[in-house]
Amino acid sequence: SSPGSSPTDWWAEPAGSLPTMFVLVAIIQALSGLGLIFLVLLHSGKGGGLSDMFGGGIGAQTAGSTVVEQNLDRITVLTALVFAFTTIALGLLF
């Protein structure tokens, strides 16, 4: 008997279904993509942005970049890295 042919093999995927790893990575990529869109829209451009609504524009003229903007940058970079790695993973899995 070949591996995965017995119905008691818990790791065997049913015929015609997507592998569980593929589905998990696809869900993570979709969520990180939506998060990335939201985070990029929060960044302030030259004329201000949505980040001003959350306190990012307070003192931005005098201090350069605030703690809120620095944290927003870090979270955006982290989300972009997650999106990039899931894109590569989906390319390798599919």
- Residue matched to tokens 């790791």: 11
pLDDT higher than 70, residue 90: yes
Contact 56, 44 (CB under 8 A): yes
Give the model's pLDDT for residue 48.
58
Give the model's pLDDT for residue 57.
54
Contact 60, 47 (CB under 8 A): no
Better-predicted residue by pLDDT, 7 or 83? 83
Structure tokens at 29: 């990529």
- Output the pTM of the full model: 0.66
Q: Tens of pLDDT along 5-27?
A: 555 555 566 666 778 888 999 99
Q: Tens of pLDDT along 23-54?
A: 999 999 999 999 999 999 998 776 555 555 66
